[in-house]
Structure 1
């Protein structure tokens, strides 16, 4: 299992639902869209200034595969719903 660290930026101008709401939205979206092939084991999400800090724990044969799985899942999770207000700060 590999830990994949990501930072998301809030790209929306709409107000958020309060402290921690963004992290909860992103974490919920990740779990809602995760499939067994993603290898997602655990998610840590916390609100940080300007966005959300994430650590996705992904089961994979090597780090590159874990990162590819994490980014594919994140693309799906950020495509719709409340989490769409976020974008990956620095894609690979």
Structure 2
């Protein structure tokens, strides 16, 4: 299992809300499929965004990162988490 660390930026014009980490975490679990290898998620509020750590089951770090970014793209595509974008995409 590998830990993939990401920083998400809130790109909406909406005021910051405390629900940001919960929105992201909920969206990740809602979009996760068995092939993503998602074991655990940690999300916490940061100034202007959310810090996320995805614990991903994969054969190596590169595969874990690819799985994490694919899941993240799906999770941020719609719903409340849509207001976030990855700070430094791969």
Instruction: State TM-score, norm by structure 1.
Output: 0.96
Q: CA deviation at 1:69?
A: 0.1
Match of residue 56, structure 1, among 54, 57, 76 = 54
Q: CA RMSD in A?
A: 0.7
Q: Equivalents in 2 of 1:78, 1:61: separation in Å?
A: 25
> What does residue range 32-47 of structure 1 map to in structure 2 within 5 Å?
32-47=30-45
Can you give the 5+ residue segments of structure 2 that lack an aligned partner in the other structure?
Answer: none
Give the TM-score, by structure 2 length: 0.98
Separation in 1, partners of 2:33, 2:82: 19
Superposition pairs for residues 13-92 of structure 1, below 5 Å? 13-16=13-16, 18-19=17-18, 21-92=19-90
The number of aligned residues is 90
Q: In the TM superposition, what is the alpha-carbon distance from 1:49 to its structure 2 partner?
A: 0.2
Q: Provide the residue aligned with 2:4 in structure 1.
A: 4
